Chains A and B, each alone.
Chain A
Amino acid sequence: MSLSEIPKRRKKRNWAPYILIMPALLYLALFFAWPMARGLVLAVWDDEALLSIHAEAQRDSAVVGHIPQNAHLDILDQQGNFVPEEELNLENMLTETWFRVKGEDAEGNTIEGWAPDSRIRVREEAEDGTPLAGTVRTKLGTKADPLTSVYAEPNKHSQVVGKLEARTRVEIVDVALLEVWYRVRGENEKGEPVEGWAQSRYIQVFGDESRGRVDRGNTGQLTTKFIDKMIHDRFFLPALRNTLLLMVIIIPTQFVLAIIMALVIQARLKGNTIFLYIFAIPLGVSDLAVGILWFSVFTQNGLLNSILQYLGLISHPSPYLTAETRHWIIIAIWLAEVWRATSIVMVIVVSGLQAISDEVLEAAELFGANLWQRIRHVILPLLKPSLQVALILRTILALQVFAVVIALSGGDVVTVLANETFRQYSDFRNPNVAAAYAGFILLLSMISAIIYLRTIRTQEELAA
């Protein structure tokens, strides 16, 4: 349908089409563009690269510097601080418990304040385990202050409101679960010393509690380390090689076969619709099912060996899909992909053929052009736009072969880029490297599309 057939309603700005495409645009923006942009950032952005160091042991205190992930630290001091309940149970997080106690000191004054749970032995608990009352523990050692300090805040740096003697009975009014903060000293990326407070959840402490390392940061940073990790992954080069090799052998075969199929359909034989349905069947079959289909052909006691055995060509089944017969796995993937994805090329070619008028073909036939001449000099040049679209579509899809490869090789012996993306995400739990692989596939797709568009245009320019 050409544009001229469309009624031109341009008297005044017509908003109807914009309203009609709005839901689709919104949906694609929300579930396509936005996650895509956010996700691809993962490949170059490390969320945990740097640990912010605070001036005080408070979340909202000023940041005095950053220490990179994995850097070693000296631990100078520690103190508990409030932590929201939903953040409890994080890995590495150290907590300390403080009790708000009420009791009488040596002079008989009632003292109410906070004491760490290491100083109070709980004697009474409610049914749900909440401590209700306890006694002050005796301090060990002779030099230590025999009295236990009670603080205004659940924090050893706060004001002391009073002191309790050992074995004093106290009422436990409240319990506070605090996250430990460490006062640390380390070096930032430029090697300058940084000293300040950081939460224990980010720090792995070594045995003597005076040294530690930054387990993960809380501030993001632009990084190439995921891309480096992808490139140096030992499966990266084999995956790239196999993907490109498969592309090179699959696509030409598909185009030849698809054009033959399209010519058969175009011949309008009796039973044309049956041919059409059969040729179109693979369009609706999932790639995993196709992988299994060809696995059933190539497996050691599968169809291929059975046929060869019946024909007497072999005496015992030979293995195809093993690590020693990688070339057979490639052949099996090649056949499976040709079986599966030729239909889509055929459909595109058929609709291209239908646009070529019968008169042109009949004229060529009348002038004595044989089949090959007709294909070479009439059909192919006229099909060029359709073939171009099919080529771009097929190349992009060939970069994504996945389930067929897993079904035929188990995903280990012969691997491809899409399979490595899946593995990095699912098996290695590394979404950043998976995003790097995904970005790489996207890059290859775009480059190949640009190359096709360019070369075809320059050919046309040369011809003109």
Chain B
Amino acid sequence: MSVQSEAMTVQVSEEVLALHRRMQRRRKLNRGFTYLVGILIALWILGPLYFLGSMALTTQEAVRAYPKGVLPFIPFSLDTMRFFLNSAGIVPGVINSVIVAAITLVLSTLIAAPAGYATSRFLFPGRDFFRLSILAVRAFPIVVLAVPLAVVFISLGIYDSVYSLALMHTALTLPTTILVIGSVFASIPYELEEAAMVFGCTPVQAFRHIVLPLVLPGIAASAIFTFVMSWNEVFAASILTVQNRTLPAQVLFALSNSSEAYQFAGGFFMMVPSLIFMFFIRRYLFNMWGQITK
């Protein structure tokens, strides 16, 4: 940019102009190359997804056929999907999954929001320790938590229930939610709140009328991400539920003795809500994860 503005005002030698032209040519080339790489990576991500979608949205004959085609070239049908949804345990599994994810979303957001606000707005002794322990909990292996919790839940008599699984998922998602909500609050300058108070708002009014409307979309995005994390979680769900399996736990349980149609439709069905939710929160992703690295 600086080269261009100088070129307009100052007499520039031929050599500098040549250098500039060469750089622009190289930039154009680079852009083309970057597009190519980007498209290749996008294909690497979308290709398998498209194939799985084709298999889930066709007839069972097409799923059994070999060599397999993909969607515009094979018949579109809801047959495979219907077969999957009518299999034993799937509808209750979906209901359980939604209940668990909804409870997790509410609990996790309610508990995390004040903590996120505190870490982003106050400088208090122990703040760094709190943030560090949150990070440590986030990095803790799920595997390590699931077995002890199962044993504790059995001894308390609340094993194999969607509610106890939701308690576990809340513990799992809470650290991420705190960090994310903290970064959402941190992105709203404190000066706004201060200005409101200068104009006579109480701190609570300033929060209610200035901060809340600004952070609400970010918090909604984080809540959706919490929902997705709970909806996807397999390991703890498989360990903590026996009769009341969630969808992933049910699919995992049935995996080894089910047909390919069941597996493909199941995999696709589990992905669809995530794909939709991710689309809505894509803008907040970096808000959400950026903070974690600091």
Contact = CB atoms under 8 A, between A and B. Distances in A.
A and B, one complex?
yes
Interface of A: 1, 3, 5-10, 14, 16-21, 23-25, 27-28, 31-32, 34-36, 38-40, 42, 257, 260-261, 263-264, 267, 269, 273, 275-289, 291-297, 299, 301-303, 305-306, 309-310, 317, 339, 344, 347-348, 350-352, 354, 365, 371, 385-386, 389-390, 392-393, 396, 399-400, 402-403, 406-407, 410-411, 417-418, 421-422, 425-426, 431, 434-435, 437-439, 441-442, 445, 449
A296 B55 contact: yes
A288 B174 contact: no
A354 B148 contact: no
A441 B143 contact: yes
B38 A386 contact: no
A453 to B, nearest CB: 12
A213 to B, nearest CB: 26
A269 B65 CA distance: 41
23 contacts: A6-B121, A21-B114, A21-B118, A24-B115, A25-B115, A28-B133, A31-B149, A35-B152, A39-B149, A260-B37, A269-B31, A273-B282, A278-B45, A281-B45, A284-B275, A286-B234, A288-B252, A292-B263, A305-B67, A317-B66, A339-B44, A407-B255, A418-B235
B171 interface: yes
A287 B229 CA distance: 11
Contacts of A351: 286, 289-290, 293
A421 B139 contact: no
Given A39-B152, A406-B255, 16 more contacts: A16-B122, A27-B171, A35-B152, A36-B144, A38-B148, A39-B148, A39-B151, A263-B34, A275-B42, A277-B282, A284-B225, A287-B232, A287-B234, A293-B49, A301-B68, A354-B286
B248 A354 contact: no
Interface residues of B, number: 101
Nearest to B178: A24
A17 B31 contact: no
A31 B263 contact: no
B48 A296 contact: yes
Interface in B106-128: 110-112, 114-115, 117-124, 126-127
A304 B115 CA distance: 48
Interface string B32-48: 00110110011011101
A172 to B, nearest CB: 36
Contacts of B134: 24
B68 A293 contact: no
B210 interface: no
Contacts of A263: 34
Interface stretch (B4-12, B85-93, B212-220, B266-274): B266-274
Nearest to A444: B141
A302 B37 CA distance: 26
Interface string B6-36: 0000000000000000010000001100110
A26 to B, nearest CB: 9
B209 to A, nearest CB: 19
CB-CB nearest 6 A-B residue pairs: A39-B148, A292-B267, A286-B232, A351-B290, A284-B274, A20-B118
Nearest to A412: B256
B103 to A, nearest CB: 13
B71 interface: no
B34 A9 contact: no
B239 A445 contact: no
Contact of A399 (B67, B121, B141): B141
Contact of A348 (B34, B119, B175, B292): B292
Q: Which of A39, A269, A305, A406 has the most CB of B within 10 A?
A: A39
A24 B51 contact: no
Contacts of A310: 67
A24 B239 CA distance: 24
Contacts of A8: 123
B-side interface mostly: helix
Given A39-B151, A276-B282, A438-B147, A16 B118 contact: yes
A281 B275 contact: yes
A435 B255 CA distance: 25
Nearest to A291: B267
A2 B212 CA distance: 22
Contacts of A296: 48, 51-52, 55, 260, 263-264, 267
Q: Which of B68, B111, B144, B145 has the most CB of A within 10 A?
A: B144
Contacts of A3: 123
A348 B289 contact: yes
Contact of A261 (B41, B51, B231, B267): B41
A212 B134 CA distance: 52
Contact of A438 (B137, B144, B248): B144
Contacts of A389: 292-293
B151 A289 contact: no
Interface string B143-173: 1111111111000000000000001101100
B64 to A, nearest CB: 8
A284 B278 CA distance: 6
B67 A306 contact: yes
Contact of B252 (A257, A276, A403): A403
A422 B236 CA distance: 9
A363 to B, nearest CB: 10
Contact of A42 (B67, B119, B148): B148
A97 to B, nearest CB: 30
Contacts of B46: 278, 281
A132 to B, nearest CB: 37
Contact of B115 (A20, A365, A431): A20
